Structures are given as C-alpha cells and as structure tokens.
Structure 1
Amino acid sequence: MSSSSPAAFRRPPLHACTGLRFLAAMGVVGYHFYCPPCTPGAPSFLGNLLQAGFTTVSLFFVLSGFILAYNYLDDRGGFVGTLRGFYQARFARIYPIYLLALVVDVPFFVRSIHLADPAATAGEVARITTATLTLTQAWLQLGRPTWNIMAWTLSAEAFFYLLFPVVAPWLARRGSRQLLALAVTAWFLGVAPHLATEAVSWLGPEGSTSALGNGLRALGQLPVQLIPVARLPEFLLGICLGVLFCRRSNPGRVGPRTVGLLGTCAVLVAVIGLLPAKPSPVMQMAVLVPLFALSIWLLAGGVAWQGLLLGTRPLAKLGEASYALYLTHGTVMGYALALNTRTLSLPHNGVALLMVPVVVAASLVLFKYVEEPGREWLKRLGRPRPALPPEASVSRP
C-alpha cells in the first residue's frame, strides 16, 4: 500500500462540514427527546421533522466516508500515513467519550437487562459487556438489551474504519466515471434490502407465498438498519464522493453552490414534512441519503455567508463536540426524566425542551475536558519512543 507522509500532506479543514455534524447530532437528539403522544396538539409538520431525526445517522455515515477520503487519500489515491497511525488515531478519537458514556449509562443498562430477563445469567451480561467494549455489539447483540442506545453506530463505524485503508485506495485508483458508477451502485445496494420488504406487498397474496416471495420476506426481515455490513454502502458512497470532490478541476462559483444548497435543504424539509411521520427505510435510503450526499458536496465546496453559518467558529465548535452530544444525550435525558418523576412532574416534552441546552453545554464541556485530553493522551501513548543515542544506551557502572 503506497502512502504519503501526514506532515507533507494536509488539505484545508472543511469547517462547514464540521458544523454539519452538529445539525446531524441535533437531529438524533430531537428524535430521542420528542414524544408525539405527549403533545397531541403540536403541528404535524414539526412532529414529522423531529420524528425523522433518526435518518441523520445516514448523514453521519456518508460524511464519515467523505471526510476520511478527504483527509487520508492523497492526489494520486495513495493512503496518507501508516496503518498503525490511522487505527491509533481512530481509536483515540472514539474511545475516551465512548468509555465515559458507557460508565454513566450503567444504571440504565442494568435496568434494561432486568426488564428484558430478570433471570439473566452472569455469562449473558459478560457477553453483552464484552461485545460493547470491543465495538462488536451490532454484530452480536441483536435482540439483546443495549448498553447505551447509540453505541451500535460506533460498532458500524469501527467496521468502516477497519476496511477504509484497504477499500479507499482501491476506489481512489478508479477513473472518475467508474467511481461515479460505483457511487450509484453503493446507493442501490443500500436501498435493495429495504425494497425487498416492499416487493412482498407488490407481489400480492399469491406471489408473496412463492419461493421469490419467501426469499424477499426473509431478506426484508433482517435488521438491516443495525447490521454494519448493511450500512456500509452509505460509507462507501461517502468515500466515492470524497475522492471525486478532491479531483474536481473547476470548483465553480459560490453563488450557484449556495442556491443549490438552499434548494437541497428546501427539498429535504419538504420531503420529510410532507411524508407520514418516521420515513420508511426505503425513503431514507432512496431519497434522503442522496440529498444528504449532495448537501455535503455543496458545503465542502464552499457556500456564501461562511457556509450559511455552519462554517462559523461557534457552529464549528459545536460540530467538534457533536460526538459527545450524540453519545451522551440519551443518558442525560434518562436521568432528567427519572428526577422529574420524583420531583416536578413536568410534561415529557417540557423536560425535553429544558434538557436541550443542557446536553449541548455538557457536550462542549466533555469535548474540552475529556475528549480532547483523552485523544491526545492515547496518541502520545501509542507513539514509539525516540531511540537513545548509542552512548546513552550503554549502561554505566
């Protein structure tokens, strides 16, 4: 595998894409915090937007592939740095906050095990714990109690990171037309499992009992929203777009990109707002993922008003803290609801509104005092120590 020196290769940061991470995290926060039955009189349009927040996990996956390709593939398609350095950086990036999020979530984990199976054995708890700590829970824990509701996505990301140094350089060596075809193929592969479920209803009562219908039903019953290999197409789509973005010879003008981004956002809001609550997996993959991908491309290219404000320092800082926000918001809300039950007894959505600024502020604190120091410490820990000069390495009497 060819590689370039990280010190000699560094593209300018994409601040607006960092700010976009905050919006993606807030989509997930809105989805988990909002309780539709608790406020029956709420505008349906607003409810639809909040209940579609889970789809921004796809935005995270596509953006992850895009940014890794942008940062770790040079202009010749070579991998930048070493495998050890890459994996070390990825581990240092995700594990400090991940471990903290697991620790503070222990009471809810214990409760979920008790509710699911009061007679759960120590061996079962050990299996779930081991899978969670090794980031393999999305492969091994289907149908079991979950330790931190968002942790499964880290299991998928770990799988993507494992494949990136091999898959990304191979993709980067393809021609632009071939790469575009591969991007479309990745998109279709992401849609296909969900189409299988829809196809059973299209076949009708007789066709749905045929061998084809049974096969499609079996495929459609797989938990493809959670299995990492089924989410891989989104990550691969991001890599393809990242490589194509770095190859572009004519960046174009800011004005058309700005109009294009505003139009894309308008279509996104209209599609989500006009659809029934909670978009189907087919709609998520077939329509929303391409719109997410287009938004990333346009933002990365540069739009007016400093990335329509996503590229400003405050939004970029919130984007940097979005990982902590994403992993800890559910647990913080859980503690708040438990406290509310015993004290104020506020409506659920009232508690949610109060907790939004709390979880955002907490994420900034965690980023500054846990995530950044933890990442730097793990990086230093993994660096090889400089060799001593010959005279210093000889023991003295």
Structure 2
Amino acid sequence: MPRPSPMNLSPLPALRRPPLHACTGLRFFAALGVVAYHFYCPPCEPSGPSFLANLFQAGFTTVSLFFILSGFILAYNYLGERGGFVGTLGDFYRARFARIYPIYLLALVVDLPLFVHWIRQANPAATPGEVAHISVTTLTLTQSWLELGRPTWNNMAWTLSAEAFFYALFPFLGLWLSRQRSGRLVFIAVGAWLLGASFAVAAELVPTLAADASLVERGLYTWSQLPLQLIPPTRLPEFVLGMCLGLLFCRRTTPGSESRRTVALFGTFGVLIALLLWLPPKPSPLVQMGVLVPLFALIIWLLAGGVAWQGLKLGSRPLVLLGGASYALYLLHGSMMNYALALNTRSLSLPHNAVALLLVPVAVAVSILLFHRLEEPARGWLRHMGRSRRLAKTEGVR
C-alpha cells in the first residue's frame, strides 16, 4: 500500500488571511496591457501619441506580472508560514481545474471557426495528424511544450500551458519552499530572477559569437534558444519568485508604514513608466526579465501590504470586479478582434485602430458578463461537486 503524502496526513485548515483586493484589481491592468499589445497597430491609422504607442507595444511584458502574481497568491492562500499545505492535493487540483477550464473551453469553442480557417489556409498544408496533435495538446494544456512555429488553437492559451505546469509542481515545490528559512528564500528568489534573466543574457551574447564557436559558445547558443522550445520550464523562475515573495510576505513581523508603501508604489510606477517610454518599443527579453520583473515583484509586494486610497483604487469594488473578469478578457480578446476585423473588412472599412478602440469596452463588458454568468457559477458547481463526492466516500467508509 503506498505511503500517503504528508499533505494528506495532516493538511492545514483554511488560512484566515485577508483577501488581497488591490492585487485582484492589478490583474485587470495586466490583462489590459496584453489587450493593448494585440489590438494596437503602430503603422495603422489613426495613430496614437508616441508615448502611448510605446506603452501599448510593451503590453506583452505583463505576462511576467501574471506569472509572479500567480505564485504569490497561491503561496499566500495555500502555504503555511513555516511549512504545511492547506487542504489536500485533490482539493487543490480540483480548484485549479475549476479556475481554468470553464472559460477556457468556451474560448476554444469561440475560436474554433478561426482554427478551422487556419487549417484550410496553412502552408504547408496541415495534415490530419498535425490537426489531431494540436487539438489534443490544446485540450490537455500541453501545447506550449511544442515549438510554436505554427499557430495553435487559441494563441492566447500558451500561458495556460505554462500555468498548468506550475500548478502541477506547486504542492510539492511550495511545501519544500515553505520549510526554508527566510534568508534562504531570499537567496532562492534572487537565484530564480537571475536564472530567468540568464536566457536573455545568453541571447544578447549570441550575435557576438565567432563562426568557429567553441563548445562553451555553442552551449550558450543552445541556452539562449530554450525559451523558444520549452516555454513552461523557462517561465518557472518567475512563478518561483512569486512563491518566495508570497511566503516572505506572510512571515513579515511588522506591517510597516502605509504612507511609505504608497510613496514607494508611486515611485515604482514612475520608474516603470519612464523606462517603457524611454526604451525602444517592444522591450527586449533582457529588459523584461532583468529590469521589469523586479519592478513587477515590488509592485505586488507593496500592493499586498496595503497602500492609501484602497490600494490607489485598485482594491475598489469596480476594479476588483474587472480583475475577476480579467481571465475571460485575456482568453477571448484575440478571437473577438479577429472576428471584428473580418466584419470590418466586409462591411465597415474603418481604420484598424478605430476598430480596436471601439472593441475594447465591448470586450471588457463581455468578460464581466461571462465572469458573472459562467465563470463564477461553473467554478462553484465544480468545487461543490468535488466536496459532495468526498463526503459520499467518507460516509461510505463509515
């Protein structure tokens, strides 16, 4: 008989930690950054001011913020300050499934006509085996383990493939991290950041390699290419950084001054915006991992600790609602834009960026509707079904 896991032997009771509303509101702006990146076309009309164009073209970097925030929130909700895991493995994975799949399956259905269109237009032609392979890996959230040379069914979902990998590791990696001393957690967090940046550093060095590259140089080149081949493992450092920060946050002994955190947050936002305006559009991977990731981590830490004016209004009810709906917005905005552009080509003939501007409020409204009518009810139903089955098994044992 297999020996039960320590988590299943003595799971911690639910932790009574207050919700981090400002971090929920932050999710909306992270999702909006990705939307702006995909919607805005720099050479298209009407063109926006250059500073806005720079910010929009840097929107893809907020994916890093999502990964860090995911690790932070999971550590905050599921890990004891000095070891232990809340609930059982079954509870955790059921909650993750309920969090991801209802809206994900809807997004795949919405995107299905676009996927079929791509299959018909693919050059070289997509074989039945390739279509089946893409379909299976998409449904099982393993699509990002493939080389992304050809489009996939719902291109936004590659991050969910990475998240699924993080979720699979979290109970085990999180339990180990929760037993580490605070000093070691700081060391691991810094190491995770440096490891994540090392791929980008290697990529910057690759163009300087000689034609007759040595073994070390060839290894450096291979290391620089890994993010293009194995996305989930190469994004794991950001998630681990978030987990370490979440544990360190829970262990802090003094809350500190709210006014100081507020000033620090204003300063961090100012540095972040100044960098994005000063640097060329589309920050390089080195800038993203080496510079923006620490700034994102600091923003999360400060907001979680509490800042003035309801977390600069990020913790207000409207923004908490928008943050809750951000998952649907993230997954569906690409499909909605493709359909809007197709309609515009046939009927309206508006400039591209005008279509994008008109679509943003529509996409946000649809995401809120789906959050209320599908995501929350489905999540509650799936969790209730899991609890009912567990109770039925317990009564059967008696």
Same fold by TM (over 0.5)? yes
Aligned to 2:255: 251
Q: 1:41 deviation in Å?
A: 5.0
1:338-361 CA distance string (max 9 Å, x none): 101111100000000000000000
Q: 1:210 deviation in Å?
A: 3.0
The code of the aligned residue for 1:292 comes to F
Equivalences, count: 389
Aligned to 2:131: 125
1:275-303 CA distance string (max 9 Å, x none): 11100001000000000000000000000
Aligned to 1:234: 238
Q: Given that residues 46 and 354 in structure 2 are in contact (C-alpha distance below 8 angstroms), is that contact kept between their aligned partners in structure 1?
A: no
Q: 1:388 deviation in Å?
A: 9.6
1:164-196 CA distance string (max 9 Å, x none): 000011111111111100000000010011111
Decide which of 267, 271, 277 is 1:273's aligned counterpart. Answer: 277
* Distance in 1 of aligned mates of 2:171 and 2:44: 47
Aligned to 1:341: 345
TM-score (norm 1): 0.94
Q: 1:153 deviation in Å?
A: 0.3
Aligned to 1:45: 51
Q: Given that residues 77 and 172 in structure 1 are in contact (C-alpha distance below 8 angstroms), is that contact kept between their aligned partners in structure 2?
A: yes
Q: Given that residues 324 and 363 in structure 1 are in contact (C-alpha distance below 8 angstroms), is that contact kept between their aligned partners in structure 2?
A: yes
Q: 1:216 deviation in Å?
A: 1.8
Which range moved further: 223-232 or 321-330? 223-232
Aligned to 1:143: 149
Fraction of identical pairs, as percent: 67
1:68-100 CA distance string (max 9 Å, x none): 000001233210100000000000000000000
1:348-382 CA distance string (max 9 Å, x none): 00000000000000000000111011111211222
> Gaps (5+ residues) in structure 1?
none
Superposed counterparts of 1:1-397, under 5 Å: 1-2=6-7, 3-7=10-14, 9-39=15-45, 42-117=48-123, 119-140=125-146, 142-203=148-209, 205=210, 209-224=213-228, 227-383=231-387, 384=389, 386-387=391-392
Q: 1:103 deviation in Å?
A: 0.4
The code of the aligned residue for 1:262 comes to F
1:182-217 CA distance string (max 9 Å, x none): 0000000100111111112345x46x7333322222
* Distance in 1 of aligned mates of 2:353 and 2:106: 27
* Distance in 1 of aligned mates of 2:101 and 2:43: 36
Change in 2 beyond 3 A, CA 1:73/1:213? same
Change in 2 beyond 3 A, CA 1:181/1:347? same
Q: 1:115 deviation in Å?
A: 2.6
> What CA RMSD, in Å, does the superposition of the two structures yield over aligned residues?
2.0
Which range moved further: 33-42 or 292-301? 33-42
Q: 1:387 deviation in Å?
A: 4.4
* Distance in 1 of aligned mates of 2:155 and 2:375: 20
Q: Given that residues 147 and 229 in structure 2 are in contact (C-alpha distance below 8 angstroms), is that contact kept between their aligned partners in structure 1?
A: no
The code of the aligned residue for 1:67 comes to I
* Distance in 2 of aligned mates of 1:388 and 1:168: 28
* Distance in 1 of aligned mates of 2:103 and 2:189: 32
Change in 2 beyond 3 A, CA 1:79/1:49? same
Q: 1:389 deviation in Å?
A: 11
Q: 1:39 deviation in Å?
A: 3.6
The code of the aligned residue for 2:201 comes to L
1:46-85 CA distance string (max 9 Å, x none): 1110000000000000000000000001233210100000
Change in 2 beyond 3 A, CA 1:387/1:291? closer
TM-score (norm 2): 0.93
* Distance in 2 of aligned mates of 1:310 and 1:388: 42
Change in 2 beyond 3 A, CA 1:10/1:149? same
* Distance in 1 of aligned mates of 2:324 and 2:47: 35
The code of the aligned residue for 1:98 comes to Y
